[in-house]
């Protein structure tokens, strides 16, 4: 669904045979030794274009950052 310098963000949908979406999971996969952008550029060759971060991913990452900040302040 999106990639940046070192990370891929994948969306997984669990769909029953009747077409009902039972769950949606977003996972973050971090690359080591090669950047995610470099990897996609190598595969896509001349068809590469920068991705646009979906709104739901942007809001999810903001939420994680907010919760992390809140926990850090609690420890101080």
Q: Where are the domains of the chain?
A: 2-75
* Residue 43: per-residue pLDDT: 95
Backbone angles phi, psi at 11, to 5 degrees: -110, 130
pLDDT digits (tens, 9 = 90+) for 18-73: 999 999 999 999 999 999 999 999 999 999 999 999 999 999 999 999 999 999 88
Other beta carbons less than 10 A from residue 10's beta carbon: 12
What number of residues does the chain have?
76
Q: How far apart are CA 46 and CA 66, in angstroms?
A: 38
From the list 45, 4, 11, 7, the residue with the least C-alpha distance to 27 is 11
Q: How far apart are CA 57 and CA 1, in angstroms?
A: 9
How much is the pTM? 0.80
């Amino acid at each position: 669904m999106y990639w940046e310098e070192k990370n891929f963000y994948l969306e997984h949908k669990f769909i029953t045979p009747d077409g009902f979406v039972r769950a949606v999971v977003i996972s973050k996969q971090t690359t080591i030794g090669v950047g995610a952008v470099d990897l996609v550029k190598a595969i896509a060759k001349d068809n590469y274009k920068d991705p646009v971060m979906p709104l739901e991913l942007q809001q999810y990452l903001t939420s994680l950052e907010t919760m992390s900040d809140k926990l850090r302040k609690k420890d101080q």
